[in-house]
Amino acid sequence: MIKADSADPAAVKGAVAKTVARFGRLDILVINAGILIRGAVDTFALEDFDRMLATNVRGVFVAIQASAPHLTDGGRIITIGSNTAVRTAFPGASVYSMTKGAIASLVRGVAIDLAPRGITVNNVQPGPTATEMTASHVEMVKPLVPLGRMGEPQEVAGLVAYLASASAGFITGSSLTIDGGYVA
């Protein structure tokens, strides 16, 4: 397994280089890193703001930038954003939402940049999903989901797998929300 701290540009670039060295090519890049630090904008620590930007935005940009030269024509880039790019329902989530909105915008532009090579670039925007990051606020969020439950990681993975497949070759620059109707 090749790991990298997405807030560390050298580590991200190193992980891309190790991947290409090990496999000789890069067909699919899935960027699934993010942190959530909650707090009201008037008291939000600048250090926490910088940390979320470094992980949630700069890390995604660096991964795409480092990978693009190695991606095969017709390759895939899939970022994992959040439905909070569309709807911020709770106080204290504005900075996190901003970082995920930035990813949705970045994906649209990168899709245009890489389209001549047939590389598709898409963003998956999960809503409330049963993960370590959401464990502390399940009971607060679950009643807001029309389907009445949290999403499962394998459901998000299924959408990612579809976007990585040949069947999704005409989808690019899109943000696809998978959230049980939360933002409907």
Closest CA relative to residue 117, chosen from 63, 76, 62: 76
Residues 162 and 63: their CA atoms lie apart, in Å, by 21
Answer yes or no: are the C-beta atoms of 26 and 86 closer than 8 Å: no
CA distance 141 to 72: 40
| DSSP conformation letters of 109-133 | HHHHHHGGGT-EEEEEEE-SBSSTT
Would you please indicate which residues are annotated as catalytic (active-site) residues? 96
Report the C-alpha dihedral over residues 14, 19, 21, 26, rounded to 10 degrees. Answer: -120
3-state helix, strand, coil in the chain (%, to 5): 50, 15, 35
Element (H, E) at 75: strand 71-80
